[in-house]
Amino acid sequence: MIQLTKLPTKVLYRKIAVLTSGGDAPGMNAAVRAVTRYAISHGVEVYGVQRGYNGLIDGQVEKLELSSVANIIQKGGTVLKTARCLEFLKKKVRKEAAALLCRDGIEGLVVIGGDGSFTGASLLEKETGFPTIGVPGTIDNDIAGTEDTIGFDTAVNTAIDAIDRIRDTASSHERTFLVEVMGRNSGFIALYTGLGGGAETIVIPEAPQNAKQIHETIRRGIDRGKSSSIIVVAEGKTVGNAQILSKELKAFGYDPKVCTLGHTQRGGSPTAHDRVLASYLGSAATAYLLSGKSNGMLGIQKGAVAFVPYSKVIGKKKISDPYVLKLASILAS
């Protein structure tokens, strides 16, 4: 459970903006709502930037009212739209974006996204002095400096729901299934899904396994009477990891079925946990920004909110604990 501690009350700005960037994550809307309503209730105007950093380039910035964020706390996706904006990698573009924000009298920016989004925010602040603050929003939970990210809990619940359904048919047909979940650089979704879904084994980028190792796990299960298996596979660098493993497993006499959950994990109504996390982090980021803190992200550390400078977040690897993998394997034996 997240500890909901008191937030700073100083208000130094009159106008701020908010954007969502990178892959969408369930709970981003709850965060946008929190930023908007927290700021307005403290006498601050809020502007919504459309399509991530693209909106800063082409001026798609609109004033948000209390009613603009009504009825969105329960919705997946992001009402502000999102994008991975390659143009923002250019210094000249960032300078123009800061000029546009200043022209409109906007004094600070809340960025809801992941590592790439924070890189853009950090460079914008470093080069132009424009204050930015980050809210970690990604289903991958791969952001350093925070134990949790908005969307992770929902994605894991979605994947576990799929596994429960797959288990019914796997068990009826006595089959082996490879279920591929998202997580390009990290195995958090796979680990938590595998542990919570009772998978026979879990393949993650941090601890890859070859077909022979998977075969040995399945074999041990068969020897003790199992007639079906579920293997959770993180997509890794290239989507299709599970397809590759499935082909390789054929050499060991299996005919595994593959189910790639893909973008189903990115959509859907956020869980209660993600709504609370997003509401709290969105409010905290706004409170910290208004009180003069910037150049960092609001994360969760030891269950409580913490301000983490971008320098301790960007480009840093958050490694999943190999012990979870070991535990999942003990419990699946």
* Residue partners of 239: CB distance under 8 A and separation at least 6: 180, 260, 262
Binding mask 240-279 for ligand F6P (x = CB under 6 A): --------------------------x-------------
Q: Is residue 140 flagged as an active site residue?
A: yes
Backbone phi, then psi, for 137, in 5-degree steps?
-130, 105
Question: Binding segment for ligand F6P among 37-45, 180-188, 209-217, 249-257 (CB under 6 A)?
Answer: 180-188
Smallest separation, CB 21 to ligand F6P (Å): 11
Smallest separation, CB 320 to ligand F6P (Å): 14
**Is residue 184 near ligand F6P by the rule CB under 6 A?**
yes
Residue 152, amino acid? F
Smallest separation, CB 150 to ligand F6P (Å): 12
Smallest separation, CB 262 to ligand F6P (Å): 8
Choosing from 139, 163, 199, 202, the residue that interacts with ligand F6P (CB under 6 A) is 139
Taking the C-alpha atoms of residue 230 and residue 258, their distance in angstroms, rounded to an integer, is: 10
**Phi/psi-derived region of residue 75, left when phi > 0, alpha when psi is between -120 and 50, beta in every other case:** beta
183 versus 296: smaller Cβ distance to ligand F6P: 183
Cβ atoms of 230 and 167 within 8 Å: the answer is: yes
From the list 24, 140, 148, 274, the catalytic residue is: 140
Taking the C-alpha atoms of residue 281 and residue 149, their distance in angstroms, rounded to an integer, is: 10
Q: Which two tokens stand for residue 5?
A: 């501690």
Binding mask 56-95 for ligand F6P (x = CB under 6 A): ----------------------------------------
Smallest separation, CB 241 to ligand F6P (Å): 11
Number of residues this chain uses to bind ligand F6P (CB under 6 A): 10
Question: Binding segment for ligand F6P among 98-106, 177-185, 194-202, 292-300 (CB under 6 A)?
Answer: 177-185
User: Any idea which residues carry the catalytic annotation?
Assistant: 140
Which parts of this chain interact with ligand F6P (CB under 6 A)? Answer: 23, 114, 138-140, 182-184, 235, 266
